Structure 1
């Protein structure tokens, strides 16, 4: 494709300083003509400094309009600053880096969306298999910028971070990306850790048949799937070495009792094999009774009392929901991943809004670890690649090493560092990137940065973004809803993107106070039923 359309020429190069180029522009607006869209010279627009040296692709980083006096007449002087992002190779494709810098007086041409997509490898000449790698998510923010496509393999193969302050459009962006994936790919596997029950609405309607919605009343995380560290973290936080040794021996013994004789030697305390927690409590009580002094009884009694208290607490019912059925891990994952032959599902939404605050972090860590272990033991990473959407990531993988978060951080950071090899990817979603594990964020290959108003958040993100975005980084606090700076592996050339609206929307829109305070409560509004649901911990959906 021609990268030097004559009518798109805006001026000539006046100075070159490393990767920074200054252009004297003759025009800042190019009208529509001959089927080519109208274009404006604006921050984030792409240009080609093309001449005998080749095609150098740059991004507009600043536009300065000055008034200068020439022979007593004041004239407008348009200066455009560019940042080099790469060049076009012999095959007509974009590549990072340049062999030769543009020269002074080199012509500068604006690039429209079709041209940009062409050098990124998104054009009609692709094979069907190559086309399947890309899916549309929105449009470039610049006038005439064209449609934006993500490379699915690079987006999820190297993790992605979606960050932005409350109300900037994080949830709608996540929903739109997922809906686009559902549209283009018949059998994806994406699992949402939904802490606020936001995504139920986004995957109803046309997506309902493909969505496995596990609401809080049906969510389960059987206690026998926990490894020893996780079990102690939930049932006896801060247990000493003596209690840990006692639990290890008893749980391992109970698990071995539930397998065939020839398999006992390969069963460990961490094996996801059923054991009856009531039997564990009885064994602890028996050991306490067998001791002759209060001092010797104490460790067994403390364990028994603590485990019994958690076991009877209705807030922790999710640990016991499958106790009677003794559900095996294979059946659990078959349902979780939606691979049942009769009812195949491709999006799994785990409503975790009812998790008790004191075990929310550990529970998320357990789920992440189970998913990683499943992919680890599936010897071919391409059999069933899985993406995990970590909503509100700052609340359970913070950038701190307190004991409260250690277990979850360890599990998620392991996926961040090793998941690519085993076909498991992270989509890290947060409103406070400054509070999220730097280890996790540094492993993300693509950043989708929506509006950020906090200086701390902006500074952390800037350190992770490439220098080529230039002045665009200064716009983080003024981006529109669903508008983001997108950089990294999923898009060869970084830039501003306005994401399409999701259809339907997640339950994350701002509350319409004007309507509620005008119309009043709906007919049949019942405070008693709300209090009853609160008391019984029943999550009741509303339409």
Structure 2
């Protein structure tokens, strides 16, 4: 009889990827002390090893059960206890490898994995891995992730509200590019889409922050002439007929061709320009010309002389439409011209162009074309501002963005970056030479199954094709069940914090290729800042506690202290400042 203190029991059944272990009679439930540390027997998520002579197989406990039966000879009840383990890897010649080359046999001994064993698996520093935290079951064992696979094979971070999702995301990103609080990845490219403006406080020292808010030090501009014309028309004009769309697109192409000469763009063939070619043009000029076509009356039957009213030329920059003399009865001038069929759409377009909340897109600073399409700065300066600065992380703060237009704005940003990655993949500044990780916060808001916007379209492309061009995605969400399955299926690594909702847990379970249902069932009881990590970037399916952030580097997402604030004596409050902040759209500190 084996009296080893690490013995758990023996294999009693084996299936394709799992085995059942009957616990030995000598194993007491509770705690055993080994190598000076306490180990809990049969804890879901803890590791075990199976002795196979020269090889040791390793597994993770996925569940346990117990039954009793009556012994006919002695007339007493015998308790039988089992644990189910998922087989995950083996050590061959001292090196741990995922997967197994041979199955265990009935009767093989199963032992507790102690720290000395864990160090063989987790303790070796591997080039290209970065430390994210420690094993939940052993604070002395570091957990690392494969940076290459995390970025190129995509990943997802899930967790219910209050599970520490934002803090964990900040911790992972900080661990990715720093060591001992010093940047050790100076050429990293991480672009974080911050929907609620909460990451500047956590990552501001290693990131450049661009914001759509008016008072921002670095204003985020997304020039409208980079936006897909079809989506831009939808945003500016609402519903258009096919003939109206054709007029809009024809004018757009014409203005883009003119801008080649106006801006001295070398190497651009006018014959190959389409409505989607990223060339500047004046959208106000197009509005003015559409107003002309829709309302014009003529002084001659050949329609060569417009019948302008007094001071009726209008002004495209000031959004003043041209005005015309009314048509005369009979066969006398002015003659009827425009049919006025686009009045509603052009009024909406003018309203959009005049709305200051969209100025970051429709009045994009030095990227705003004049009426001839001439710009002060080109797209190279825009992309260099986002990706070419000296810090490893870029934060795009979209917290002031109207929710109804979030998909259009984000989709355009992703479109610009992905097109650059495709056409510049062999260049030194391209993404294959210096890969890009896109971190998409609140992913369920624009990647839901019912969403049809540009952002979802672009993320689907990146999920399917990004690896070839050096672009990876990391989704961050509290509702994985709402995210499009096509996108979710492309995430090679899943990092799941506490999840209470049954539907969301089911989505996470189906996304975990290891089939570790017992571990997934522990998601509701994970501690804050603790996660189950499975997939290609992890050495093993692991329950991990993430590295703590410095005290002054936490995201601005902490819950309000209701009890403390409500107990304070009532003070005089200035509600005028409250309304002024809303009107001016500034986050005043009070």
Q: Same fold (TM over 0.5)?
A: yes
Structure label with greater radius of gyration: 2
Q: Which residue of 1 aligns with 2:207?
A: 211
CA contact (8 A) 2:229 2:249 kept: yes
Residues 293-332 of structure 1 mapped to structure 2, 5 A cutoff: 296-319=338-361, 320-322=363-365, 323=368, 326-332=376-382
Tell me the matched-pair count: 517
Q: Which residue of 2 aligns with 1:189?
A: 189
Shift of 1:61: 1.6
Distance (Å, rounded) in 2 between the aligned partners of 1:309 and 1:535: 18
CA contact (8 A) 1:375 1:424 kept: yes
Instruction: Quickly say closer, same or farther: Cα 1:20–1:211, change in 2 above 3 A.
Output: same
Q: Which residue of 2 aligns with 1:8?
A: 6
Q: Which residue of 2 aligns with 1:146?
A: 141
Distance (Å, rounded) in 2 between the aligned partners of 1:14 and 1:31: 26
TM-score, reference length from structure 1: 0.87
Shift of 1:321: 3.1
1:86 is the counterpart of 2:89: yes
Q: Which residue of 2 aligns with 1:281?
A: 287
Q: Which residue of 2 aligns with 1:160?
A: 155
CA contact (8 A) 1:291 1:297 kept: no
Instruction: Quickly say closer, same or farther: Cα 1:329–1:539, change in 2 above 3 A.
Output: farther
Instruction: Quickly say closer, same or farther: Cα 1:387–1:258, change in 2 above 3 A.
Output: same
1:95 is the counterpart of 2:101: no
Shift of 1:143: 4.3
Distance (Å, rounded) in 2 between the aligned partners of 1:287 and 1:61: 70
Q: Deviations over 1:426-476 (max 9, x none)?
A: 111111111111111000000111122222212222211234423112222
Distance (Å, rounded) in 1 between the aligned partners of 2:57 and 2:484: 37
CA contact (8 A) 1:5 1:109 kept: no
Q: Specify every segment of 5 or more residues in structure 1 that has no aligned partner in the other structure, as ranges.
A: 125-130
| Richer in helix (by share) | 1
Q: Specify every segment of 5 or more residues in structure 2 that has no aligned partner in the other structure, as ranges.
A: 180-184, 299-334, 370-374
Distance (Å, rounded) in 2 between the aligned partners of 1:370 and 1:519: 50
Shift of 1:254: 1.2
Distance (Å, rounded) in 2 between the aligned partners of 1:294 and 1:462: 67
1:178 is the counterpart of 2:173: yes
Q: Which residue of 2 aligns with 1:128?
A: none
What RMSD in Å do the two structures reach over aligned CA positions?
2.8
Q: Which residue of 2 aligns with 1:112?
A: 114
1:535 counterpart SS class: helix
CA contact (8 A) 1:14 1:24 kept: no
Aligned counterpart for 1:362 among listed residues 408, 423, 432? 408
Q: Which residue of 2 aligns with 1:232?
A: 233
1:31 counterpart SS class: strand
Instruction: Quickly say closer, same or farther: Cα 1:521–1:439, change in 2 above 3 A.
Output: farther
Shift of 1:86: 2.9
Q: Deviations over 1:142-162 (max 9, x none)?
A: 246722111111111111111
1:530 is the counterpart of 2:531: no
TM-score, reference length from structure 2: 0.81
CA contact (8 A) 2:199 2:556 kept: yes
CA contact (8 A) 1:53 1:100 kept: no
Shift of 1:176: 0.5
Q: Deviations over 1:217-251 (max 9, x none)?
A: 22221111112123123212332212211111111
Q: Deviations over 1:84-111 (max 9, x none)?
A: 2233334622231x33322233222222
Q: Which residue of 1 aligns with 2:324?
A: none
Q: Deviations over 1:188-238 (max 9, x none)?
A: 11111111111121113xxx1x31011322222111111212312321233
Shift of 1:264: 2.4
Distance (Å, rounded) in 2 between the aligned partners of 1:299 and 1:510: 52
